[in-house]
Structure 1
Amino acid sequence: MCPPPLPGTTAGPCHGGSPTIAPVATDISLTTLIVLCLAAAAAGWIDAVVGGGGLLQLPALLVGLPHTAPAHILGTNKAVAICGTTAAAVAYSRKAPLDLRTAVRIGLAALGGSLAGAFFASGIDSAVLRPLIMAVLMVVLAFVLLRPAFGTTVADAAPPSRRRVLTAILVAGLGIGFYDGLIGPGTGTFLVLALAGILHMELVTASGTAKIVNVCTNVGALVTFTWQGAVLWQVAAPMAVFNLMGGALGARMALRRGSGFVRAVLVVVVVSLVCKLGYDQWGG
């Protein structure tokens, strides 16, 4: 069964045509490309520390490529983001005490959840969901600020119970994966919070686990966008190099400076996400 054409694409081989795409503007200045690369590096750093790098990278692509079809922006963003996420996941897996088996199980569930979310996305009014998401984020922000020890110490040194692991698979995997496919902003941040809260992980360990889950969801999305011909590889390739470097640097800083540093970045990212969603709801 073939996926439907994405917005801004023409029929692919499954729809009786060749894998062509709608015309897009690909001639960009060197200055614009440099700015996009710097934004990709910063996004990779943010995403590696606590998630939410897309809050910077996606708007940068929208501004830098104003005449490009939305499908190509999203596809190019995924092609770039997966490089930094993978670099961060590798860095964390080498240094942080990650449970790779649990991370992969949650990641596979998130992959299924994101596919389901994408299926229902066209029938959901995001203007209705944004206020709900902002309310949840405000509760999360209050929780993090009022509980300074959250994510800085492990409550139980024993391995998590099967019940907790199953809850993490359902919530962080299927639930947040569904949200990623449905809307997307702040998925990495939600993953960190869910993993720290459900499995009692330190924030550094939660960030590393979240990167592995993100790799799984990004692979599925990138395969779809590539199949539809909706990736501007000439733009994505140089940005990916910078995103990879930013992701590797962010992971090393988080590992070196510990959960207190990650917590501070988490607060900034949650506030930024609330402001971004608020602007999209009332100011856009």
Structure 2
Amino acid sequence: MTHIGADTLLVLLAAAAAAGWIDAVVGGGGLLLLPVLMVAFPNAPVARLLGTNKLAAVFGTASAAVAFVRRGGLRLEPRIVWPAAGLALLGAGGGAALAGAISSEALRPIVMAVLALVLVIVVARPSLGTAARPGPPGRGRIVAAVAVAGCAIAFYDGLVGPGTGTFLVLALTGIVGMDFVEASASAKIVNTATNLGALAVFASNGDVLWVLGLSLAACNIAGAQVGARMAVRRGAGFVRGVLVVVVIALLAKLAWEQFPGMLPALLPESLSALL
């Protein structure tokens, strides 16, 4: 299964670099890399591809977190970031342990509904995430953010995965009032923990292609470094734009999986015949 052609490997490496860039800016790199892995290994167990994706992603998110912190000038809230990261290790591990027990078909409509709501909120509130809320967050917001990021979203990451970083960014902007750049930096720390928790479970079950995963990780790191620097340099408006694109793409991907015959039915007959 790990014997692949040079052209396929190049596509995988390019996808890993692009996924690292997306993850660093706003999250959601799994939206790109995981489907490419599934196309490259159509007969592989899904858990093994999830584990390989996590191996690549954990290096990318960790390197992006370091890049954000080194740039300085960002307000990271330690009362949220570190407790959420600690809980995320357990939450993602629990989700990964159940990855084969719950049908993705059952989860897909729920995730689509949440994404649609997220898109409406981001579009309807242009000021969301463009500037941080003044003053430190109250205890209630801190508890809510830690619970949502460290438990609910982390569990989702271990169970399904794609879009986790995006959900983390939105949770931190919506609940705590961070701007998009600060939320993205904080999300990278929590997302590193979710990736580690899930990877530990997949690795213990033998569901990681280590050589391929480490090769993808190198490209993921390169993309993440570029993305983190662009996010800091270009600011919250840039991150917001990428966020909208990623949410729409994730919605489109899930809709295609949920209603595979919908798009061909909407296209002209000449195009439908090509699908």
TM-score by length of 1: 0.86
* Structure 2 counterpart of 1:226: 203
* Structure 2 counterpart of 1:106: 84
For the residues of structure 2 that align with 1:121 and 1:72, how far apart are their CA atoms?
11
- Higher mean Cα deviation, 67-76 or 142-151? 67-76
For the residues of structure 2 that align with 1:119 and 1:276, how far apart are their CA atoms?
25
Deviations 1:33-80 (A, max 9, x none): 111100000000001000000000001111122333323211111111
Q: Does 1:154 align with 2:132?
A: yes
For the residues of structure 1 that align with 2:99 and 2:4, how far apart are their CA atoms?
31
Q: Taking every aligned residue pair, what percent have the same amino acid on both sides? A: 54
Alignment counterpart, residue 169 of structure 1, candidates 120, 140, 146: 146
Q: Does 1:241 align with 2:192?
A: no
Structure 2's unaligned 5+ residue stretches are 262-275
- TM-superposed CA distance for 1:122, in Å, is 4.7
Superposition map of 1:81-120 within 5 A: 81-95=57-71, 96-120=74-98
Q: Does 1:209 align with 2:186?
A: yes
8 A Cα contact 2:96 2:198, kept in partner: no
- Higher mean Cα deviation, 238-247 or 88-97? 88-97
Runs of 4+, deviation exceeding 4 Å: 119-123
Deviations 1:61-108 (A, max 9, x none): 111223333232111111111111111010111223323453121111
* Structure 2 counterpart of 1:44: 20
For the residues of structure 1 that align with 2:98 and 2:39, how far apart are their CA atoms?
28
- TM-superposed CA distance for 1:204, in Å, is 0.4
For the residues of structure 1 that align with 2:102 and 2:16, how far apart are their CA atoms?
29
Q: Does 1:79 align with 2:50?
A: no
* Structure 1 counterpart of 2:236: 259
- TM-superposed CA distance for 1:140, in Å, is 1.1
* Structure 1 counterpart of 2:118: 140
Aligned length: 259
- TM-superposed CA distance for 1:117, in Å, is 3.0
In structure 2, give the amino acid aligned to 1:117.
G
For the residues of structure 2 that align with 1:226 and 1:180, how far apart are their CA atoms?
16
Q: Secondary structure at the match of 1:283?
A: coil
In structure 2, give the amino acid aligned to 1:268.
V
* Structure 2 counterpart of 1:16: none
- TM-superposed CA distance for 1:207, in Å, is 0.5
For the residues of structure 2 that align with 1:150 and 1:84, how far apart are their CA atoms?
26
- TM-superposed CA distance for 1:155, in Å, is 2.3
In structure 2, give the amino acid aligned to 1:40.
A
- TM-superposed CA distance for 1:201, in Å, is 0.2
* Structure 2 counterpart of 1:31: 7
Deviations 1:241-274 (A, max 9, x none): 1100000110000000000000000000000111
Kindly report the root-mean-square deviation, in angstroms, between the aligned alpha carbons of the 2 structures. 1.7
For the residues of structure 1 that align with 2:10 and 2:96, how far apart are their CA atoms?
32
